[in-house]
Every structure is written in C-alpha cells, then in structure tokens.
C-alpha cells in the first residue's frame, strides 16, 4: 500500500516515513510542499492514502483537500488530516476522509491506514 505524507516539519515527516516503512508501506514523502506540487505528485503517484497536515508553512491543508475533491482525477483518493487543533469538522466539510488530533498514537495511524487504505 502506498502512503503519501504531506508534512512540512522535517522531523515529523522523517519519523512518520520511518514508522510507515517499518510497517511495510511504500512512502512518498520528499517533495516541495506547495499546492500545485502536491496535486501533481498525487496525480503521478496515486497513493492509497494521503496523510496531510492542516497547517502547512506555505499553504493550508484544508484548501488543498478542497482542490483535490474538485479534481475528477484525484477526487476518490483517501485523505487523512492531522492537526494539533481539533479542526475535524472543517476537515470533514472540505472532504477529508478522516482526522487525527496530534499528538496521536502510531497505532491509531496504522490502524486507520489499514482500515481505509484499500
């Protein structure tokens, strides 16, 4: 199963990438974090699940999810949002499939991916 990480914090991205690889997932994580690059990368990689941070340095994860849901080629991709603020309602309204409040347990992340990732 392929997981795409949209996380601008290098340490968090590295930890998540290592965790997911140890669990046997293929991970796409090392690319520029800006809306167009993210959309292009999703179209090229077609991940089973995308884990996206809400608060990105140069963009807003919720706005990116709205763009994904408006794109017929990407609209069916599974998206799990995460944030240190409880913005699950805003994420759901934007079209996210799930939400994890940071800090979350690694088992919760792995379980969600295995359950919803296809």
pLDDT recorded at residue 33: 87
**Which tens digits make up the pLDDT trace of 5-34?**
999 999 999 999 999 999 999 999 988 888
What residue ranges do the domains of the chain occupy?
2-116
Note the CATH architecture for domain 2-116.
Answer: 3-Layer(aba) Sandwich (3.40)
Model's pTM, two decimal places? 0.94
How large a percentage of the chain has pLDDT more than 90?
86
> For residues 54 and 85, is the Cβ–Cβ distance under 8 A?
yes
Q: Which two three-digit tokens encode residue 1?
A: 């199963």
**Which tens digits make up the pLDDT trace of 51-99?**
999 999 888 999 999 999 999 999 889 999 999 999 999 999 999 999 9
Q: Is pLDDT above 80 for 118?
A: no
Burial, 53: exposed, middle or buried (Cβ in 10 Å; 0-12, 13-18, 19+)?
buried
CA distances 93 to 62, 84, 90, 96, 98, Å, are 9, 18, 5, 7, 11
């Amino acid at each position: 199963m392929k997981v795409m990480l949209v996380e601008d914090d290098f340490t968090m991205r590295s930890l998540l990438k290592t965790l997911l690889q140890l669990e046997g997932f293929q991970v796409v994580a090392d690319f520029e974090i800006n809306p167009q690059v993210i959309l292009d990368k999703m179209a090229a990689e077609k991940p089973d699940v995308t884990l996206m941070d809400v608060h990105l340095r140069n963009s807003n994860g919720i706005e990116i999810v709205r763009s994904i849901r408006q794109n017929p080629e990407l609209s069916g991709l599974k998206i799990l949002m995460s944030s240190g603020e409880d913005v699950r309602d805003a994420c759901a309204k934007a079209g996210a499939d799930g939400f994890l409040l940071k800090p979350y347990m690694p088992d919760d992340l792995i379980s969600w991916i295995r359950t919803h990732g296809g």
